[in-house]
């Protein structure tokens, strides 16, 4: 598929997309991953962001709400040798508490606000990168840093992501 080399989002089925390679690289760079990091990703999709992170960090946990995408990503990541990536089918709003706290959290779907459970599961001096805004408009990619009880936010750049979906 020739489109795989385009720097743009591509559909992966079920109303979802794989992020453009530039954005995957940018989000990875912003969290400043280190080999000893434990990272949580919300929105596994195809597994691409998780695979990129698995090349850098010690532990990667990723949550996907779409059953078919979670199953396909699990098989794909295992087949490609990314056995250390743990995939869970669940509502990413609640994070993955039993494996936290995390050094960084990457959210790959646009939310209207940062889910409080994600902030709670973030380590001291940890970072969350998340697109915030309406799913029908341009969103803002934001960096959230946790320092004690202080939460610092920084607007990074305008983006367009699929909406953050919830279990009904």
Average pLDDT over residues 109-132: 95
Average pLDDT over residues 137-150: 91
Q: Which pLDDT tens digit goes with each residue over 27-55?
A: 999 999 999 999 999 999 889 899 999 99
Report phi then psi at 19, rounded to 5: -65, 155
Q: Give the C-alpha separation, 144 to 82, whole Å.
A: 28
Residues that are catalytic: 19
Fold that domain 10-159 belongs to in CATH? Rossmann fold (3.40.50)
The pLDDT assigned to 134 comes to 85
The pLDDT assigned to 24 comes to 84
Place of tokens 């803002």: 140
Is the model's pLDDT at 148 over the cut of 70? Answer: yes
Q: Which pLDDT tens digit goes with each residue over 61-96?
A: 999 998 988 998 999 899 999 988 999 999 999 999
Q: Which pLDDT tens digit goes with each residue over 15-29?
A: 555 566 778 889 999
The pLDDT assigned to 133 comes to 93
The pLDDT assigned to 18 comes to 57
Element (H or E) spanning 106, and its range? strand 102-107
Two tokens, residue 117: 């459970």
Cα torsion for 28, 34, 40, 45, to the nearest 10°? 40
Q: Residue ranges per domain, the chain?
A: 10-159
Average pLDDT over residues 95-107: 97
Is the model's pLDDT at 113 over the cut of 70? Answer: yes
Residue 42, beta-bridge partner list: 63, 107
């Amino acid at each position: 598929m020739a489109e795989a080399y385009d720097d743009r989002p591509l559909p992966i089925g079920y109303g979802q997309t794989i992020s453009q390679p530039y954005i995957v690289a940018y989000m990875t760079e912003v969290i400043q991953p280190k080999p000893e990091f434990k990272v949580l990703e919300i929105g596994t999709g195809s597994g691409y962001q998780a695979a990129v992170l698995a090349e850098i960090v010690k532990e990667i946990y990723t949550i996907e709400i779409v059953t078919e995408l979670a199953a396909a990503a699990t098989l794909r990541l295992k087949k490609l040798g990314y056995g250390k990536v743990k995939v869970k089918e669940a509502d990413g709003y609640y994070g993955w508490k039993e494996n936290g706290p995390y050094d960084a959290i990457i959210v790959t779907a646009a939310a209207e606000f940062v889910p409080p459970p994600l902030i709670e599961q973030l380590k001291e001096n940890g970072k969350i990168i998340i697109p915030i805004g309406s799913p029908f408009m341009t969103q803002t990619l934001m960096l959230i840093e946790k320092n004690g009880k202080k939460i610092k936010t920084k607007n990074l750049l305008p983006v367009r992501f699929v909406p953050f979906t919830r279990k009904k």
